[in-house]
Each structure stands twice: as structure tokens, then as C-alpha cells.
Amino acid sequence: MSRSLVLTALLLSLGVAAQPLSASAQAAPPPLAFQSHQVNPDNTLTFRYSAPTAKSVQVGIDAYLKPLPMTKDANGLWTLTTPVLPPEIYQYSFIEDGVTKLDPLNDDTVKNLVSLGDMVLLPAPTPAPWELTAVPHGRVDHHLYTTHVAKNLANNQEGYIVYTPPGYDEKLKGGYPVLYLLHGWSDTEDAWDNDGRANLVLDRMLAEQKIVPMIVVMPQGYGDLNFVQHGWGVWSDPAQISENLGLYSKMLLTEILPAIDHEYNVAPGRQNRAIAGLSMGGLEGLTIGLNHTDDFAYVAGMSSAIFGSKDEGNEPTFERDIPNLDAKKANLKLLWVGCGKTDGLIKANRDFVAWTKAKGFNTVAVETEGAHTWLTWRVNLQQLAPLLFRND
């Protein structure tokens, strides 16, 4: 029996008068079925995107500095297969006639207030630290509180994420050290957990006894939410940068730190507290940490957004933002600066390292292959975390 006769019989059984199907409806092809993000056995990725009327479609992948052009077939399906890639979590988005769009067939999206993106895992033969494996897992909690410092937040509600290690004991004698891990501009407090897979990375390193058990706090990173709502141009305005940094510093030190000390079994003393961040969070982490060495004994930045080494008065901006820095008084256990070799911020970070060494710090400078992406920062976390809270 033909499909049209079956449909007619079904409608009649339901008491619905059947209407004759038009020739075009009877001839309409079935919807296309395809994989939008396919992992291939040869460690390539194939991307597909349906846009029959589009004139051009590209796929932007964080493995490449520029978007890659896709090829259109007779059905309007655009396709691209990448060169061989190393195992990783890749972020990507489609660009249809110049407009960035999410993959409608992928629910694994990045947490970002400005950029659209999805994620695809290219697994390693032996699972990478950011892959889900059968090891003991820590707990991830999302907190909200009312801030009296930050500006332009909805109902003054501020968010932060807290990771506690497997077997976390609220009554453990001495408590746990704490790492404050800050995200970058346009990210949210979920970014390190969602995009960076920090919880899985920490779980794995703990299972392999590479790090000490620690609490990790991942706060939302804006003293003024308007700093992220008006585009990249804010980074050309020193006054906005300074205001956001000042408000964020006050919020972190006077609201979030006391809340963590009250809500969790935290080990006392600066020797049990670290601060680190990426990009904007790197600027915040380095600036707050070095201005408050009485609170933090471990200070680190990843691809830190330190734009240039000179201000309009030809003085290092580091001197302005971190005045009166003295290595002996700071008495840090670790000052760590990482950056990708192809990151546009590499020179600024090198200048910062040189400046701190001239101040007498034994700064650990780490340069990895990679650019300003999570491909670099996931590696940075694995490089940094084993150095924290060691007694040796």
C-alpha cells in the first residue's frame, strides 16, 4: 500500500476527512539525517551544517587561528573534514554568511556571555585528564548570594562554583587549602567547570596523587557586569578596566573569601590560600594576589590580560597597578606565569615576568604551545596544581 493510501486510511479511522496531497507534497524528499560533529578513526573531525540558501559557511575551531571554509553539496549540506588533530576538547561554531551560529544538533555548549560555541571531544587512546573516567569524583556546588559591592547584576545576585575533593570531610583536622580560580572576560563562573573540565582534571590528578586535596572556588569575575556587556572596546578604556578590577577585588576579599571560610572546612593562614586565573582572571589574580600577599602565598596567571608594559607616562603599568612590590615582604611560596607561545599576550606576559624578576621574585615562567584558548588553559591547570600547597 502506498504512503498516501496509508495516510488516508489513518485519517478516516480518526474521523478526519482526508484531503488529496499535492504533487509537490507527495514528491517532497525526507529531511536530511546527518551528524553535525563527527569524530573519525583517523583523529580528524568532520563538521556538517545544513544551510541550502547560504552563500558561504565556515567553521571556526579553536585549534586554528582562522575559520575554515566548508563545501556545499546539491542538498544544501555544508561539510568540512579537518586535518589530523591531537586528542582534545575542541570548541567550534558555524559562520553562515558572516553570522556566527551554534550547532543546532549539539547540546554541549560553552558558557560564555559574548561568544557562541559548542564542544566536541576527540578522545585519547588512554583517556586524557579532562575525560570522564572511573575515578573518585569530587562535588561541584553552585552558590548564589546577594552582593553589596558588584554593580549591574540582576537583583545583585552573584554566583560562584565550589569544588570539594572526593571524600571531603567537614571535620578534617586542620581543614583544606583553597585555590581561587578565576575565569576570563566574557566567561561565566561555570566556565572552568564546563569548558575547562576543571573538576575532572582535579579528580584525575588526585587519583594519581599528583596534587594535594584542595577546595577550588570559581567565582563570577566582574565587579561591574557592564564591563562585559559593551563589547571588546572596554579593553581600550583604562578607567573601565581599573573600576572593574577595583570592585572585583573588594567583592572577592570582603564577601566571597569570608563566605568560603564560613561555609567550608578551610585551613587557616595565607600559606593555605592560592589565587590564579586566565586572561582577565589572570590580570585579576596577579593584581589581587600581589597586592594582598598577606592573604595569598601562591599567585598565578595564565595568558594574563596585561596589555603592554608602558602607560601614557612611559611608566610600567605594573608599577601603577601593583605599587611598592617587594619580594622579601611578599614572601610568596610561588609566583607562576604561563602563556601560549602564539598568544597575542605573550610579549606582555614576558615583560611582566622580567619586571617581577627585577623586583627579586623567583618567578616561574611557563610557555606552552598554543594560543588564547582552553586548549592552553587546561594544560596550564595541570602544570600549576601540583605546585600548590606542598610542604617540601
Which CATH number does the domain housing residue 335 bear? 3.40.50.1820
CB-CB contact of 353 with 337 (8 Å):
yes
Mean pLDDT computed over 130-158: 96
pTM: 0.89
Q: What pLDDT was estimated at residue 4?
A: 38
Tell me the pLDDT of the chain averaged across its residues: 90
Q: Is residue 17, in this structure, part of any structural domain at all?
A: no
Give pLDDT, residue 238.
87
- Give 340's pLDDT tier (boundaries 50, 70, 90): very high
Based on the fold, state whether residues 182 and 308 are members of the same structural domain: yes
pLDDT in tens, 280-339: 999 999 999 999 999 999 999 999 998 654 444 445 578 788 988 999 999 999 999 999
Q: Are 120 and 89 in contact (CB under 8 A)?
A: yes
Sign of CA dihedral 287, 273, 296, 389: negative
Sign (positive or negative) of CA dihedral 304, 291, 263, 387: positive
What domain range includes position 38? 3-9+23-122
| Count of the separate structural domains present in the chain | 2
Helix, strand, or coil here: 300?
strand
**46 lies in the same domain as 117:** yes
Q: CATH number, domain at 65?
A: 2.60.40.10
Domain end residue (candidates: 74, 93, 122)? 122
Distance of CA 87 to the CA centre of its chain: 18
Q: Are residues 80 and 201 located together in one domain of the fold? A: no
**How does residue 32 score in pLDDT terms, banded at 50, 70 and 90?**
low
Q: Is residue 16 part of a domain?
A: no
pLDDT tens string 195-245: 999 999 999 999 999 999 999 999 999 999 999 988 888 998 888 999 999
Cβ-contact 274, 298 below 8 angstroms: yes
Answer yes or no: do 144 and 268 share one domain. yes
d(CA 218, CA 150): 16
Place of cell 573519525: 40
